[in-house]
A and B are shown apart, each in its own frame.
Chain A
């Protein structure tokens, strides 16, 4: 399977703290994306990082990519209760997307 793995599977933090989740994948990629999913609903695109980029920021989100280790991390700073959701990484190889297993984030008010 080319599906990525995310770590940790679940994360619980206090509001205001930072949350870091990691993604590892198996094949070479065109780009890597992070998505958020609120319980039982569709996924929402958060950020995309291309294979020739090492770091990208968007608001409170910071994504890093290490293609030599085939890994990426998503940092959410100053977390809010509304950030409670599942987060997935997705890699684009050719024309196909492969999603990770997801990290379930709970932000406690």
Chain B
């Protein structure tokens, strides 16, 4: 079974630009969560999608948004990038009910200049 994949792996943007990151969960997994990881703040929960609906949302500004497609692939978008958005963005998928284990992708390293 293929693992969680994220594209791109590395990204460099400038302030004010917008970015879209993609995540393909493990086949059969319907829940996808996104996290932002920075040295100062640690792992911060962004949002979770389940069956194309946002089920949970963390405490991030509206510049951060996401969506999930019918094949469970998910994208997150950050508009009007700020320097502080530089981080490792991790996506995780969760399997069927009763299994709470999250399977993480390798992450997308975003650098905002």
Contact = CB atoms under 8 A, between A and B. Distances in A.
Chain A interface secondary structure, helix, strand, loop or mixed? strand
Nearest to B31: A95
A44 interface: yes
Given A42-B106, A97-B102, A102 B42 contact: yes
Interface in B68-109: 88, 90, 92, 100-107, 109
Given A31-B100, A97-B33, A99-B35, A42 B45 contact: no
B54 to A, nearest CB: 11
A42 B42 contact: no
B45 A97 contact: yes
A97 B35 CA distance: 10
Contacts of B48: 95-96
Contacts of B102: 33, 35, 43, 45, 90, 97
> Which of B55, B100, B101, B105 is packed against the most chain A CB atoms within 10 Å?
B100
Contact of A44 (B100, B104, B107): B104
Contact of A42 (B56, B101, B104): B104
B43 A99 contact: yes
A95 B30 CA distance: 13
Contacts of B32: none
Interface string A70-101: 00000000000000000010101011111111
Interface of A: 3, 30-31, 33, 35, 40-45, 48, 88, 90, 92, 94-102
Given A40-B107, A42-B104, A43-B104, 10 more contacts: A35-B104, A42-B90, A42-B105, A42-B107, A48-B100, A95-B48, A97-B45, A98-B45, A99-B42, A99-B45
18 contacts: A31-B100, A35-B104, A41-B106, A42-B4, A42-B105, A42-B107, A43-B92, A43-B102, A45-B102, A45-B103, A48-B100, A88-B43, A95-B56, A96-B45, A97-B102, A98-B45, A99-B43, A101-B42
